[in-house]
Every structure is written in C-alpha cells, then in structure tokens.
Amino acid sequence: MASKTSARKLRTFPLRQNILILLVVVLLASCSGVKDSAPANYSKRWDEIPDAVPEAVKPSRYGNPDSYEVFGKTYHVKESSEGFRQKGIASWYGNKFHGQRTSSGEEYDMYAMTAAHKTLPIPVYVEVTNIDNGRVAIVKVNDRGPFHPGRIIDLSYAAATKLGVAQTGTANVSIRVVSSAGEKNRRRSDAIVESPADEDGKLYVQVAAFATEENALQQLGKLQSEGFSDVRLHTESKKGKAVYRVRIGPLPSDHVAKTVLGQLKKNNHRNLKILRY
C-alpha cells in the first residue's frame, strides 16, 4: 500500500515511469515497520462473508510493470494468469493500510475480499484454499506482496477471517486463478461426466453432520484431499444448537449426484444422502 500521492503530480511523468513510481511508493509503504492490527468490533462470522464475484476486467494501468525490485530482489510480472496455481503460506493485512492506495491504484478496503500477490497481473481473481482447515474463498488480487520468504499471498482482513487465517496469522494455502463466477461450480472430479442441470431444484450429496465446526472442517478438508470439489459447509440451527453439515454440490443432475455418491462409497464414506432443494 502507499501513502496518498497526488494524481496531478503523477501525471507529469510518462505513463511507464508513472507506473513504476507509483508501484515503488506503494511497496515502500507496505514494507514500513509500523505494526499492523485487526479492526475493532468486526462482527461478521466467517460463513457470513460472501466471496468476491469474478468478472471480466482490464489490466490495471498501475502495478503491472515488466519487473520491479524489493529488498534487492527482482520480481517479474506474468504476462498471463491463465492456468496459474501455487502452494505456500498466506498472511493478512489490516488497519495499517486501510484506506491507502494499492498497487493497482484502488483504495485498500480491509472489509472487501481482496489480496496481494507478487507476480500475477492485476487485477485477477483467485480461489484460495486453506489447507489447514479446508475453507475456500474467492478474492480479487489488486495489490503487490507479501515480501516475506515463503509467503505467496497477503489477504485482506475479511478474506483472512473467512479462511480462518486472521486467527492464526498465517496458514498453508493453495491458490488457483478463476476467470468467471461459474468456474468454481463447473470444476468436478475427472471421473464425473456432467449433464444438463435439472430444473426441479438444487442437488447435494450430504456426507456427514457434526455438532462442532472443528470436526466438520476436518471432514471437509479430508474430502478435498480425496479430490472432491464443491465441498461446502452448511450451518443450521436445530433446537437452539448449531448443526454443521458437510455437503458436495450443487450438482447438475441426478446422474452426477449418483456418481459422486458411488465415489464416496468407494472411499468408505457412510450414511450418505442425496438432497434436493
């Protein structure tokens, strides 16, 4: 993030030099020694926070130079994000940068679902999976960083809360670029052949129900490690107590639901149900 630099002053430079100056200012500010902190009175539960919605975007005028240097290391911005995947450590940033300019020129909002990455062209949308607890979120990458060894993505406070990283500070994650809002729901196990969606309602396969969120998240992570996609945690209240249901879906047809059911049985999952809403 950067201290606010006047647009009038920046316009006195050629575009390429303008971009590099803005990026350097942003990166220097993000590397300053002031301690970061979480917002006070943030009341949203992780499962109440909506994902960022991927949409077609043009490359930012700022933040996409061919290369830039931080702490003596040169980073080369990718020409394309297509098919990009990565595993590493996620961290988060909050109050210290809230309201300041990001590398893309947008204002940083710690309550929005955004993130920073060192080399992806910006803006771009990525799906982040917390390998430690199985939570998944989609964020918009509009900033540069983090520049600590081993860390691959810096999450906004809202994104970190949704993924369970705000509580731990860092987490092991995998990320992949998504190009449209529907891509996440189209991704299935290779063994499943999709057919046109039923119009009667949404289909899910319920794998298990738990009284504690911790046990549900462990099951969710196990299913993802087995290669299942679209694994979701549904939280319900039953007689005043929370029930955490682990489900796969929505699925496009009865055929796909039965295929998923068969795969789960092969993996020794029991007490399975196909649900329609």
pLDDT higher than threshold 90 for residue 149: no
**198 or 208: which leads in pLDDT:** 208
How buried is 53 (Cβ within 10 angstroms: 0-12 exposed, 13-18 middle, 19+ buried)?
Answer: exposed
Eight-class DSSP state of 62 = S
* Residue 21 pLDDT: 43
* Residue 39 pLDDT: 77
Six-digit token string for 107? 């204002």
CB under 8 Å, gap of 24 or more: what pairs does 233-236 form? Answer: 233/47, 235/47
Q: Which band of pLDDT confidence, cut at 50, 70 and 90, is reported for residue 61?
A: confident
* Residue 180 pLDDT: 53
* Closest alpha carbon to 133 in 213, 207, 243: 213
Average pLDDT, the chain: 78
* Closest alpha carbon to 124 in 68, 166, 82: 82
Residues with Cβ within 8 Å of 130's Cβ and at least 6 positions away in sequence, in order, are 90, 136, 163, 164, 165, 171, 172, 173
**Bridging pattern class, strands 114-116 and 136-143:** parallel
Task: Tell me the mean pLDDT in the region 79-89.
Answer: 91
User: What is the per-residue DSSP string for 221-239?
Assistant: HHHHHTT--SEEEEEEEET
Six-digit token string for 242? 């929370």
**214 or 33: which leads in pLDDT:** 214
Six-digit token string for 231? 């694994």
Rounded Cα distance between 142 and 145, Å, is 10
In which element (H, E) is residue 165 found? helix 165-168
Q: Which band of pLDDT confidence, cut at 50, 70 and 90, is reported for residue 220?
A: confident
pLDDT tens digits, one per residue of 254-269: 888 898 899 999 999 9
Task: Say how many C-beta atoms besides its own lie within 10 A of residue 249's C-beta.
Answer: 22
**CA dihedral of residues 186, 188, 191, 196 (deg, nearest 10):** -30
pTM (global) more than 0.75: no
pLDDT higher than threshold 50 for residue 183: no
User: Tokens 């949308």 sit at which residue?
Assistant: 125
* Residue 23 pLDDT: 52
* Closest alpha carbon to 19 in 137, 144, 134, 124: 144
Task: Tell me the mean pLDDT in the region 90-113.
Answer: 89
- E strands, 51-123, where? 67-70, 73-76, 85-93, 114-116
Domains of the chain by range and CATH?
Answer: 7-183 (2.40.40.10), 188-276 (3.30.70.1070)
